[in-house]
Each structure stands twice: as C-alpha cells, then as structure tokens.
C-alpha cells in the first residue's frame, strides 16, 4: 500500500490520546481547549454567508461554544445570532471587526468564511494570535498567500483546516481508499466538472455605501476601489480583485478529490481555454465557460470543465485507470466499472461530510495534534493552487510549465507576477 495512504489511514484512525503522527506539543504550548477539563472549544465565526451554516453546524456539536459572530454587515450578524437562538444556542456576541475575536484570550479558533481576499490574511493573523483556524475554500486569494498560510501554521503550531468537507465524507473516503488500493489499477486521468445556471451580474453603478456595511473593513487587505451596487455580497467572486471565478469558487471541491485520488502534489504543465461566453457586456471578468488541463509527472492528468450558465450534464469526478473506471458523486456515492463497461460495484452516498469535517477539526484542537486534519492547510494550499494556476494560464493566455516541487511557473515573469498581489498599506500578510 502506498506510503501516502498509510499516513492518511493512520491519521483517520488516530485517537485523541496523543499517539498520532504530527507534532509533539509540549504541555506549556497546549491550546486552552486541550487544557480545559471539559475540552470545550470556543469559536468566533467571520463572514456570515457560508459562515451562517458553519456557525449552526459547529454550535450543534457537544463541547462547542460559538462566542462571536462577525460580519462587516451588521444586519447579517444580528440575523445569524437570531438563527442560533432558534437552534437553542446561547446568543453569541456580534461584531463587525474580526480582530475582536483575535483579542479574546478565551477564543480557541477562528472560523473564516469571509470573501476570498480575506482568507489568507485573516488566517495568518489568527495563527499569530494563537488561534486555530477553519478557513473556507479556496484557502487563499493567490498562491503566495497559500505558502504563507502553511508557514504560519507551522511557526505557531496551529491546526488550520480548509473547508473541503468531502475529505471527511465517509463515502468519499471509502472511494479514495479503494482507488489507492488499486481497484481500477494505475490511475492516469481524472475528469472533473461543475455546472450552474447563473444570471448576469449586470453593470454596477457608483453608489453610497449602505449604513449597515463597513465597506472599508470589507475591502481590508485589498487595495481600495469605489463601492459599486452589484458587488457585495456575492458578485465579487467574478472580479479578480477579490475573487477567483468559478474555478476557485466551486472547482476546488472536485479538483481537491481528484488530486487526492490520483495521489499527486504539484502539476508540471497547466493549460486553460475559455472565457465569458454566455453573458456579455456585464462587469464579470472571470470565465463562465472554462476547461483546464493539469499534467503531472508519471503521465497523469486532471481536467476540469466549468459551465457557470448551463446546468446540463452529470458527473462530479471520474477516475480512469488501466483496470477500469470509478465515478464519484458529491455525497460519496460511487460506481466502479471494468474495462468492458460492466458495473462491478456500487456504493450509495452517505453524507457530504460537513459534521465529520467539523469534528475532525475540533479533535485536532482537543488532542493538540495540529497536523491530524483531513484537509490540513498544506493539502488545502496544493489543491487551491490548481485553481490559481488554471486562472493564471487563462489570464496570460498560454500554457504554464511548472516546478513539480512547488508549482511555480518556470521562465514566465508575467505568470509569476500573478503569484501574489498588491495590498492595502498595513494589511500585507507577514509570517
């Protein structure tokens, strides 16, 4: 069995007793939650779109207190607090500034579900403040932030989990284990896709910032741009200044599983084709139709097809090997076929993995095992990097040759110029 699978199986089966692989953290360096007799974990949640469901999901678990709800839109923070009360949860404190969470010594972890341009800087600041971090996908706005997030987690010995919850889904984990055990032989190709029926974002107009929105803090680390009435709270996804398009928004889920199943790290070549084909003349900069190919050492490839404006089709991730095919669905359901197209196995879906993913994060904190995570930030960075490289290939208009050691584009200054970004003064992340 491959060494990588042995490690992953060991991590999945490790107890909280302290025998798992990873850091051996001294008692003096233990988190507050690990030293607490009740092992209660206190959280603050930042960003209350996806963060609302994260707050509810974490709050329902035993031994968890959601102490803070943070959103730069004060109306969203109040509404989320009302939701938690309806779930018989003690009403959390609300704030528009996540730094209040970091300043509270009783808080163990930050749950970051703010817009993409906040993921890296907020995570790095949280690690420096001694907090563990559950950060939504994609883990960062640009590749350099991903590298810094890994460095921050290591420097401060914090558990940093990316919210790619299918990594913890029972059915998905079973399917990946079968792949690693050779159920379809040597895997050489994985095809992934995402489809939606999004409407045009239209043309934004300069407008006054709503009184309930702290737009200055919403922009945070991003250089300042005037407020447009069609960007907040969602359409920022389609502007490079803040977002990463559909590839970063949803493509990261299936690409993460493809990379895991194929057992690869960094690609050696990336090519992208597509553009804004369905809707035209609006403010969207990112493609609504895109196909990206990632080549890896050992004659292996992953492809991703994104169609933001046409939902027709099926499939999530399909693995092709020299002994057959495995089709993997969004909730872990999977079918296995031999080379003659005969179905030899079928497994139903079990769950997407949200609760299991939250629990894995909490257990890593309680057990003082920061590496004992199903989507530890090093894996999160590598999977997110596929999205960044696909977008860099799209923006430069050419295929990228990349280092198999770290994914950096080789001999391409224009591509490397997109490896990082400019920051608003005083907000540039530092480890």
Q: Are 20 and 10 in contact (CB under 8 A)?
A: yes
Residue 20: predicted pLDDT:
30
pLDDT tens series, the chain, 431 aa: 333 334 333 333 332 223 233 333 333 356 666 555 468 999 999 999 999 999 999 999 999 999 999 999 999 999 999 999 999 999 999 999 999 999 999 999 999 999 999 999 999 999 999 999 999 999 999 999 999 999 999 999 999 999 999 999 999 999 999 999 999 999 999 999 999 999 999 999 999 999 999 999 999 999 999 999 999 999 999 999 999 999 999 999 999 999 999 999 999 999 999 999 999 999 999 999 999 999 999 999 999 999 999 999 988 999 999 999 999 999 999 999 999 999 999 999 999 999 999 999 999 999 999 999 999 999 999 999 999 999 999 999 999 999 999 999 999 999 999 999 999 999 999 99
- Alpha carbon 30 to chain centroid distance? 26
Rounded to 5 degrees, what are φ and ψ at 42? -105, 130
Name the segment(s) of the chain with CATH classification 3.40.50.720: 3-167+355-376
The token duo for 224 is 């300042």
Rounded to 5 degrees, what are φ and ψ at 421? -150, 170
The token duo for 326 is 């495995």
Residue 3: predicted pLDDT:
37
| CA-based torsion, 171, 176, 178, 184: positive or negative | positive
Residue 314: predicted pLDDT:
84
**Which segments of 14-104 does DSSP mark as H helices, in order?**
32-35, 50-59, 74-86, 99-103
Q: Please tell me whether the peptide bond between 371 and the residue prior to it is cis, using omega within 30 degrees of 0.
A: no
Superfamily of domain 3-167+355-376: NAD(P)-binding Rossmann-like Domain (3.40.50.720)
DSSP 3-state assignment of 192?
strand
Q: How far apart are CA 148 and CA 159, in angstroms?
A: 14
End-to-end CA separation in angstroms for the chain? 37
| CA-based torsion, 110, 127, 255, 15: positive or negative | negative
Name the segment(s) of the chain with CATH classification 3.30.360.10: 172-204+214-350+382-416
The token duo for 58 is 């974490």
**Which segments of 162-276 does DSSP mark as H helices, in order?**
170-180, 215-219, 245-246, 252-262
Residue 29: predicted pLDDT:
52
Angle, alpha carbons 23-26-32 (nearest 5°): 100
C-alpha distances in angstroms, 113 versus 167, 236, 346?
Answer: 18, 14, 35
Q: How far apart are CA 22 and CA 369, in angstroms?
A: 6
The CATH-assigned architecture of domain 172-204+214-350+382-416 is 2-Layer Sandwich (3.30)
For 338-363, b/e burial (b = at least 16 CB within 10 A) is eeeeeeeeebebbbbbbbbbbbbbbb
């Amino acid at each position: 069995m491959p060494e990588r699978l042995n490690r992953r199986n060991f991590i999945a089966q490790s107890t909280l007793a302290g025998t798992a692989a990873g850091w051996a953290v001294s008692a003096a360096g233990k988190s507050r939650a690990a030293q607490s007799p009740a092992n209660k974990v206190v959280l603050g949640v930042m960003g209350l779109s996806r963060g609302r469901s994260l707050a509810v999901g974490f709050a329902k678990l035993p031994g968890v207190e959601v102490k803070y709800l943070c959103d730069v839109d004060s109306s969203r923070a109040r509404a989320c607090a009302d939701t938690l009360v309806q779930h018989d949860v003690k009403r959390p404190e609300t704030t528009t500034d996540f730094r209040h969470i970091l300043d509270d010594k009783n808080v163990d972890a930050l749950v970051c579900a703010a817009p993409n341009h906040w993921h890296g800087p907020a995570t790095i600041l949280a690690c420096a403040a001694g907090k563990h971090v559950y950060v939504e996908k994609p883990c960062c706005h640009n590749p350099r932030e991903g590298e810094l997030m890994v460095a921050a987690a290591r420097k401060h010995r914090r558990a940093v989990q990316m919210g790619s919850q299918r990594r913890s889904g029972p059915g998905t984990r079973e399917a990946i284990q079968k792949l690693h055990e050779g159920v379809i032989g040597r895997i050489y190709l994985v095809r992934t896709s995402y489809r939606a029926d999004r409407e045009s974002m239209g043309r934004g107009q300069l407008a006054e910032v709503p009184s309930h929105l702290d737009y200055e803090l919403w922009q945070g680390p991003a250089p300042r741009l005037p407020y447009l009435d069609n960007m907040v709270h969602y359409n920022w996804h389609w502007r490079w200044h803040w977002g990463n398009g559909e590839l970063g928004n949803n493509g990261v889920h299936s690409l993460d599983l493809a990379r895991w199943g194929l057992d690869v790290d960094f690609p050696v070549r990336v090519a992208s084709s597509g553009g804004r084909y369905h809707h035209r003349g609006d403010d969207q900069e990112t493609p609504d139709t895109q196909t990206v190919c990632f080549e890896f050492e050992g004659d292996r490839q992953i492809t991703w097809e994104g169609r933001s404006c046409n939902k027709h089709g099926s499939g999530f991730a399909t693995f092709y090997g020299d002994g057959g095919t495995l089709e993997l669905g969004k909730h872990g359901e999977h079918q296995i076929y031999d080379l003659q197209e005969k179905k030899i196995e079928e497994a139903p879906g079990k769950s997407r993995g949200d609760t299991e993913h939250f629990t894995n994060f909490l257990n890593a904190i309680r057990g003082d095992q920061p590496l004992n995570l199903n989507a530890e930030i090093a894996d999160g960075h590598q999977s997110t990097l596929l999205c960044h490289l696909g977008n860099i290939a799209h923006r430069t208009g050419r295929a990228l040759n990349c280092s198999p050691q770290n994914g950096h584009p080789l001999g391409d200054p224009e591509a490397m110029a997109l490896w990082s970004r400019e920051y608003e003064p005083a907000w540039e992340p530092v480890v």
